[in-house]
């Protein structure tokens, strides 16, 4: 992870040579890396102004070279890639409206150019990542979060913070946050930017205009150079706080709780909960060898079975004494909360093997054969059937095994 925030700023649209160079000066002075500006503008209505096109690329390149700023601008047509390459565009923005344009995405991937891919107006994460894979890989593609087109009475687009955290934590791409198109209002840009930086985004892209009131496009959300100065200062401080506390974040992430558990149950115990199982997972299978059904469910869902009067038993590796070979055991929590243990060997079996027999187990000691996991589970059920554990008789039983990894 880069330690510095990647900073991109500039007008929504390149309006004139004078405008872009004036804004470029102000963003350079606060340490921005990329000058943004639309040369080819996608617009909502036919007849709207669509930008200065190639002329604007030329102005951007010139000012970029002069001030040592990289340039990022939107490409809408695969046929323009050559022109963008001629002007040395450093980052090819794919906008919300073209986020699923197959031919454009594949052409950018083939050209091996750096891409800033916005999320589609209403695309799912799967669709967005699918598009990213077409345009390149995590070394060449950055994702730009610009909000979903669900205009509320507050924001132009809006961004779900849960989705943002998920994206930052679970995708290999660099995440660039666009507070301008998310909010649509300059007064909201500061606050949402701070929140996003706290989640660990890699960078921000912000619309800036020296005269937002008269901007040709997106003036309502454009901030002034003075506001940008405050924003960049605050964002960098917030970034440092994030980095200083990375240890806490990692500590939190290294939770030992697995994502899934496999649960085992007898067909006869299933009758009252079969709908519940189907709700938790469509996947379950039954083993002819053991007569036991198995399903994989998300961690944290087991408690509902206890509420329904089930005893819950965890299959654990059990080592009677340090240094002695381990065996499988079942730890059962009864619906009322008391715990019992089933261990793999009977007293007789332990004695036969010359093992110590004075280990003080709570509850009953019952015989379970050594063998494959399914067999231990089957034997546990047989034991229960045989009522060797009086406190268990009557309570339906679910056994579970944590799924590692």
Interaction site with ligand PEP (CB under 6 A): 12, 38, 42, 95-97, 118, 146, 181
**Cβ at position 37, least distance to ligand PEP in Å:** 9
**Cβ at position 72, least distance to ligand PEP in Å:** 9
- Asked if 267 and 225 count as a contact pair (C-beta separation under 8 A), the reply is no
**Cβ at position 26, least distance to Mn ion in Å:** 18
Considering beta carbons, is residue 146 or 239 the nearer one to ligand PEP? Answer: 146
Considering beta carbons, is residue 12 or 189 the nearer one to Mn ion? Answer: 12
Helix axes 161-170, 125-135, angle to 10 degrees: 40
Considering beta carbons, is residue 130 or 219 the nearer one to ligand PEP? Answer: 219
- Asked if 138 and 1 count as a contact pair (C-beta separation under 8 A), the reply is no
Spatial separation of the C-alpha atoms in residues 177 and 193, rounded to whole Å: 8
Considering beta carbons, is residue 84 or 400 the nearer one to ligand PEP? Answer: 84
Applying CB under 5 A, which residues contact Mn ion?
12, 218
Spatial separation of the C-alpha atoms in residues 235 and 228, rounded to whole Å: 10
**Cβ at position 229, least distance to ligand PEP in Å:** 21
Considering beta carbons, is residue 118 or 378 the nearer one to ligand PEP? Answer: 118
**Cβ at position 53, least distance to ligand PEP in Å:** 15
Q: Which residues pair with 298 in a beta bridge?
A: 260
Contact partner, 179, from Mn ion, ligand PEP, none, Cβ < 5-8 Å per class:
none
Contact partner, 118, from Mn ion, ligand PEP, none, Cβ < 5-8 Å per class:
ligand PEP
Residue with the CB atom nearest ligand PEP in the bound state:
95
Contact partner, 95, from Mn ion, ligand PEP, none, Cβ < 5-8 Å per class:
ligand PEP
Contact partner, 96, from ligand PEP, Mn ion, none, Cβ < 5-8 Å per class:
ligand PEP
**Cβ at position 34, least distance to Mn ion in Å:** 15
Please count the other Cβ atoms lying within 10 Å of the Cβ belonging to residue 203: 24
Considering beta carbons, is residue 147 or 396 the nearer one to ligand PEP? Answer: 147
- Asked if 98 and 128 count as a contact pair (C-beta separation under 8 A), the reply is no
Spatial neighbors of 132 by CB under 8 A, at least 6 apart, are 117, 141, 143, 173
Phi, psi (degrees; rounded to nearest 5) at 403: -95, 115
Instruction: State the alpha helices, DSSP H only, in 136-200.
Output: 161-170, 179-183, 186-199
Could you give the maximum distance between any two Cα atoms of the chain, in Å? Answer: 94
């Amino acid at each position: 992870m880069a330690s510095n925030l990647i900073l991109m700023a500039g007008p929504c649209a390149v309006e004139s040579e004078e405008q872009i160079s004036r804004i470029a000066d102000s963003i350079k002075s606060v340490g921005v890396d990329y000058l943004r500006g639309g040369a080819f503008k996608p617009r909502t209505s036919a007849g709207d102004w669509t930008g200065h096109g190639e002329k604007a690329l030329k102005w951007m390149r010139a000012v970029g070279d002069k001030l040592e700023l990289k340039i990022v601008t939107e490409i809408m047509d695969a046929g323009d890639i050559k022109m963008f390459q001629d002007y040395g565009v450093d980052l090819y923005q794919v906008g919300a409206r073209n986020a699923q344009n197959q031919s454009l995405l594949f052409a950018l991937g083939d050209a091996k150019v750096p891409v800033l891919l916005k999320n589609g107006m209403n695309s799912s994460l799967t669709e967005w990542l699918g598009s990213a894979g077409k345009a390149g890989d995590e070394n060449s593609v950055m994702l730009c979060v610009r909000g979903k087109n669900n205009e509320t009475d507050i924001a132009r687009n809006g961004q779900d913070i849960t989705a943002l955290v998920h994206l930052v934590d679970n995708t290999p791409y660099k995440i660039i946050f666009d507070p301008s198109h998310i909010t649509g209002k300059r007064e909201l840009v500061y606050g949402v930017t701070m929140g996003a930086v706290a989640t660990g985004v890699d960078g921000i892209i912000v619309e800036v205009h020296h005269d937002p009131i008269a901007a040709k496009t997106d003036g309502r959300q454009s901030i002034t150079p003075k506001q940008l100065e405050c924003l960049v200062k605050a964002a960098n401080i917030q970034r440092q706080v994030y980095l200083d506390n990375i240890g806490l974040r990692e500590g939190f992430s290294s939770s030992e709780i697995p994502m899934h558990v496999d649960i085992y149950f007898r067909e006869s115990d299933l009758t009252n909960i079969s709908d519940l199982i189907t709700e938790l997972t469509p996947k379950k299978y039954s083993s002819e060898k053991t007569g036991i059904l198995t399903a994989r469910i998300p961690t944290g869902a087991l408690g509902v079975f206890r509420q329904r009067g089930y005893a819950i038993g965890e299959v654990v590796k059990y080592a009677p004494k340090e240094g002695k070979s381990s065996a499988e055991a079942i730890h059962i929590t009864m619906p009322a909360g008391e715990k019992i243990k089933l261990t793999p060997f009977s007293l007789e079996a332990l004695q036969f093997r010359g093992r110590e027999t004075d280990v003080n187990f709570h509850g009953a000691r019952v015989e379970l054969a050594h063998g494959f996991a399914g067999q231990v589970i089957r034997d546990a059920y047989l034991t229960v059937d045989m009522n060797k554990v009086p406190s268990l008789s009557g309570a339906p039983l679910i056994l579970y095994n944590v799924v590692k990894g």
